[in-house]
Amino acid sequence: MPIALDDTRVRLLKTAFVTYYHADIHKASKFLLDFGFEVAEQRGDDAIFFKGYGPDPYCYVARKSPDGVPRFGGAAYLVESEHELEKASKIPGASRIEKLDAPGGGSIITLTDPIGHLVHLVHGIREKEPEAPESKDLQKLVENYPDEKRRIGKFQRFQVRPAPIHKWGHYGVGYPPGRYQDMVDWYTGNLSLAFSDKVTIGGKDAVSFFHIDRGQEYTDHHSFYIKPTRGADEKPDVAHSAFEVHDYDVQQLAHNYLESKGYKLSWGVGRHVLGSQIFDYWYDESGFELEHYADGDLVNCDTEVTVQENGPKTMYVWGPPRPETRG
């Protein structure tokens, strides 16, 4: 069934963009272009808006840090209507609704979660004409299986290069010890986010994945997740932001390309359990972690929410061992 029209939560439509502050946006841009973004608009030394080939006018914003310290500037969701922005304005700590000074225009309001992470809600952004995968030289592969040979007399040919980005898909943030329920209550109480899967540590809820709740309409397995910090001394910062690419081959070729450029690998290539995505995580020039992902699951209100205890293979089916430095 669809979500109720009288839903007290702010009704989200989809993910929109993430913002990161860098000491030098031009140095940051080098990695971002090699990662697969295209420049949508550049505003001198202060900001660069990066786009993918989907309909969003931009999906990543690089801004100059005023104090020279890199930091996460929050994630933005597109909401259904101006009414949803008005609804959000009643949430304690909400900013005023303002015009969005960015490609595509629109309006924006900013919320602050219990830990201090920023959540932006936007409406009225003019979408651009999406590009067909073929325009980016992205093939929808015809594969030959042992018992089914559908590709006859044709070949699969690829080149090592950046992976064209389609959209921003999800992100995660940390929370300090004892604040799990505060985070869950705030995000699921104020925004139309619902559980997809939970991971326990020592039998207690710890890592949770949330999808945009559109009732029976299917949405990405997760647009947001939370995880605990490793202790009271670790700052509860952004974990990573993930961007969808065409398929596994494009992803693996991009892995080789980034490797050839000398960038720092975090983890990949592998296949997740929860969400099923093929993943590949890299560190940018400011030390932030960005992910290429492909082939993710879709869920709705009828999809079973699983609960499992954290273990060596909770987060991946195949791939290199999970680095000890990852939360």
Question: What would the mean pLDDT of 194-223 be, rounded to a whole number?
Answer: 97
- pLDDT tens digit sequence for 102-138: 999 999 999 999 999 999 999 999 999 999 998 899 9
Cα–Cα distance measured from residue 160 to residue 250, given in angstroms and rounded to the nearest whole number:
8
Cα–Cα distance measured from residue 293 to residue 172, given in angstroms and rounded to the nearest whole number:
14
- pLDDT tens digit sequence for 42-91: 999 999 999 999 999 999 999 999 999 999 999 999 999 999 999 999 99
- pLDDT tens digit sequence for 152-204: 999 988 999 999 999 999 999 999 999 999 999 999 999 999 999 999 999 99
Q: Which of 248, 247, 243, 254 is nearest to 159 (CA)?
A: 254
Domain 12-127+167-309 has CATH 3.10.180.10: yes
Q: Which of 288, 241, 245 is nearest to 264 (CA)?
A: 288
Cα–Cα distance measured from residue 228 to residue 310, given in angstroms and rounded to the nearest whole number:
12
Q: Which of 17, 84, 9 is nearest to 55 (CA)?
A: 17
| Average pLDDT across the chain, whole number | 95
Question: Which H helix or E strand runs over 19?
Answer: strand 12-22
Residue ranges per structural domain of the chain: 12-127+167-309
CA atoms within 13 Å, Cβ hemisphere of 137? 9
Question: What would the mean pLDDT of 211-232 be, rounded to a whole number?
Answer: 95
* Bridge pairing between strands 167-175 and 60-64: unpaired
- pTM for the complete prediction? 0.95
SS3 call for 260:
helix
How many Å from the N-terminal Cα to the C-terminal Cα in the chain? 36
